[in-house]
Structure 1
Amino acid sequence: MTYKYSICYPDKENIEYPTKLLGKEEVLDMAQNYPWIEQLKLSDSLTTKIYYSPSIDFTHIKDEHSFCLTAGMNKDRLEFSIWYNRPVKTKPLFGLLGEKIKLRVVDKWSFDKQTALKHLETFLNQDYKRIERIMTE
């Protein structure tokens, strides 16, 4: 399994799209060891425009499912929102035009780091039905 990724920084207008592809273990390592708190402190210290909350988005190369972790602070506690983007079948004009595949995102907020990383691992195991349940319950 191979993943591409992007990184959003509070102080940079442009999203970073590294060309290096990652395996499952590299994705987990990156998410675990990313300097989330340091990036949030940077965001708090900016006197100019804040462009993004600290975020990393991982996209599976073959099926285009993606999983984004976005960090924030809530009462001095690190929290994450998860943004899950997946292909969904739609039937435009009540099915008269057949079925089309569109990417749709669902987000959920207020995960602690351990839980967010556990959900990331579920995503990396390609248990998409479970991720869908987690994100929509």
Structure 2
Amino acid sequence: MLQLITDRPLKYTILFLLIGVFGCKNEKQMNKLTEFRYSICEPLNPKIIEKGTIGKNEIISAFSSFPWKKYLEQMDKARESEIHYSPSIEIENKENKNGLAISAVGSPDNYEFYIFFKRPKMKKRFFGLSEKMDNQYVSDLRDQTKQDVLDCLNALINNDLNFLEQKFK
């Protein structure tokens, strides 16, 4: 039996099969980790619009093609009582529930973004004597540029939670 394992072609075949079997399992796990859900808010629509599942390769495009300026123009022309939301898009990792909500504020020709980072986080209570998990913990950043948003979206897509935690300190 040992002689078979040291046989070079068989050894490489076994190695290839092992990589293939474990690689498929890991790839399936990675795909599961990178399933995202997204929704949008239109300023004059009182309902949040669930868009369903979005692939990680489609997220940047969804953000870039979102009609931020059009919705801000609608807000400029509408009465305050007709406005329900700022134009927004939310992306959430289905597996770990980390997500970003991005809203545009300002004038149609000069706007910025607010980024909200939602994730489960342990929170201290009673002067730090106990902790409780907050599954909907949210931090926000204001006055963000398009590049700031793209950096955060890429971190979410790549599950780079360290980057996001540092950015939202």
SS of 1:25 mapped into structure 2? coil
TM-score (norm 2): 0.72
Larger radius of gyration: 2
Please, which runs of 5 or more residues in structure 1 have no aligned partner? none
What is the CA-CA distance between 1:114 and the residue it aligns to?
2.2
More helix by share: 2
Matches within 5 A, 1:54-93: 54-73=87-106, 76-90=109-123
Contact 1:8 1:53 in 2 (8 A): yes
Cα shift readout 1:36-68 (whole Å, capped 9, x = no counterpart) = 111111111112421000000111000000101
Runs of 4+ displaced beyond 4 Å: none
TM-score (norm 1): 0.87
Corresponding pairs, count: 132
2:34 is the counterpart of 1:16: no
TM-superposed deviation, 1:115: 2.2
Percent of pairs identical after alignment?
Answer: 29
Matching of residues 1-137 of structure 1 within 5 Å? 1-18=34-51, 20-47=52-79, 48-73=81-106, 76-90=109-123, 94-95=129-130, 100-102=132-134, 103-136=136-169
Structure 2, unpaired ranges of 5+: 1-33
Q: Which has the higher contact order (CA 8 A, sep 6+)?
A: 1
CA distance in 2, matches of 1:7, 1:131: 21
Q: Which moved more, 1:7-16 or 1:75-84?
A: 75-84
